[in-house]
Amino acid sequence: MTKQEPNTEQKKDPVILVVDDTEDNLDLLEFALKRKPVEMIRANSGMECLSLASERQPDVILLDIQMPEMDGFETLRRLRDNPATAKIPVIFLTAQRKEPESIEKGLLMGVDEYLTKPIDTDELLVRTKTLVRMKRMEAELERTKADFMAMLVHDLRSPLAGIKDVIEFFRELEKTGGDLTPDHFNLLAASQESAERMLQLINNLLDLSKFEAGSITLNKEPLSVRNIVGKAAKQMEFQFRQRNITVRTDVAENLPEVTADASKISQVLMNLLSNALKFSGTGGTVTIAATAAHEPDGAGRQEVVAIAVSDTGMGIPQEEIPGIFQRYKQASTARRVRQKGTGLGLAICKLIVEAHGGRIGVTSEPGKTTFRFTLPLTSQ
């Protein structure tokens, strides 16, 4: 793993390992790439490719198919079999434009791209860049997933351990025949809260995986945005009041109805409101506004209802905004509040809004954060 790190840095030129049994081809390519932003390593045979690949960890391997002794297919198979080289993207180099059988065979073996001879260096560079970017994104996703798993295990384990202790405590009390005191009821209330948090977390995870598997069905019906906003505000009223936060709703008169899944849209509102609450500290104002608007839609423009949830809390640093709609991602603001989250809320919001054909975005500065999402009037 450590060997790969230098190549995952943003600024370094990508390293291409070019494998061809004809020296002239390697010379030609080396010359063509001389002034380009890449580093080329040469290999004369499949065997040499295998050792250089594991030693140098290139970003991409450009592999000729026809080679004596070990051909491109065999080399690819061995690259994939070795954990040290299994993940290095491979571009196959075919002799003519039409070699459907080789292409199919290569694809089945997990080749990433094709190029035909003579090599167009610009094309090679574009393909290389794309593969490098994809590899980096995959590595990043793997890391986030691993972090998330660690967090998830912790988030489920500690409340469950707490609940188990409370149960054991009451079983003991039952044996000794002790009386129930207000403290005991507080313990029960805390356990209930823990159990609810765990349930919420598990429900979020299930929602997310259902959405990702494409198996979620929306129960769309004509919906009054005024009603749904009112209900969500009411549901959170108590929690906001406890933190001395004023909630304002500002729904435009004569707002048209939207065709949407009521429970899913209230889930979006609740997620946004719970973030507004969590990141507001005490005092301030949370506003839920709804207006009619238009937004680009493929060829033309479509009528939408735009719903915005604003808070007067700490805000989100600009550079962290692009990541916050990704699952498991939390911004640095998450570390500044006591209540822990898992970074799933906004990912779920985005999936729900987009499943309705709408969009979601955010603008933020300290003291003012606005999440805005749209819902098209007409069902898709």
Ligand X SMILES: Nc1ncnc2c1ncn2[C@@H]1O[C@H](COP(=O)(O)OP(=O)(O)OP(=O)(O)O)[C@@H](O)[C@H]1O
Q: Rounded to 10 degrees, what is the CA torsion of 31, 37, 43, 46?
A: -130
Tell me the longest C-alpha to C-alpha distance in the chain.
92
Please enumerate in sequence order all residues whose Cβ is within 8 A of that of 212, keeping only pairs 6 or more positions apart, or say none. 351
Pattern 194-233, ligand X, x by CB under 6 A: ----------x-----------------------------
Look at residues 99, 100, 139, 140 and name the one whose alpha carbon lies nearest to residue 117. 99
- Quick one: which of 62, 90, 331, 351 contacts ligand X (CB under 6 A)? 331
345 touches Mg ion by CB under 5 A: yes
373 touches ligand X by CB under 6 A: no
Q: How far is the CB of 290 from Mg ion (least distance, A)?
A: 21
Q: DSSP secondary-structure letter at 358?
A: -
- Quick one: which of 304, 307, 324, 351 contacts ligand X (CB under 6 A)? 324
Look at residues 111, 56, 57 and name the one whose alpha carbon lies nearest to residue 89. 111
- Quick one: which of 41, 247, 276, 360 contacts ligand X (CB under 6 A)? 276
Site for ligand X in 342-361 (CB under 6 A): 342-347
314 touches ligand X by CB under 6 A: yes
CA angle 123, 129, 134 (to 5 degrees): 130
Q: How far is the CB of 5 from ligand X (least distance, A)?
A: 27
Pattern 73-112, Mg ion, x by CB under 5 A: ----------------------------------------
Look at residues 96, 60, 59, 92 and name the one whose alpha carbon lies nearest to residue 75. 92
Binding residues for Mg ion, total number by CB under 5 A: 3
CA dist 351 and 271 (Å) reads 13
Q: How far is the CB of 333 from ligand X (least distance, A)?
A: 4
Q: Which amino acid is at 157?
A: R
Q: How far is the CB of 164 from ligand X (least distance, A)?
A: 23
| Burial per residue of 26-57, b for 16 or more beta-carbon CB atoms within 10 angstroms, e otherwise | beebeebbeeeebbbbbbebbebbbebbeeeb
By the 10 Å C-beta count (0-12 exposed, 13-18 middle, 19+ buried), 296 is classed as exposed
267 touches Mg ion by CB under 5 A: no
Q: Which stretch binds ligand X (CB under 6 A): 82-90, 213-221, 252-260, 270-278?
A: 270-278
313 touches ligand X by CB under 6 A: yes
Q: How far is the CB of 153 from ligand X (least distance, A)?
A: 15
Contact positions vs ligand X (CB under 6 A): 204, 271, 275-276, 279, 311, 313-314, 316, 324, 330-331, 333-334, 341-347, 369
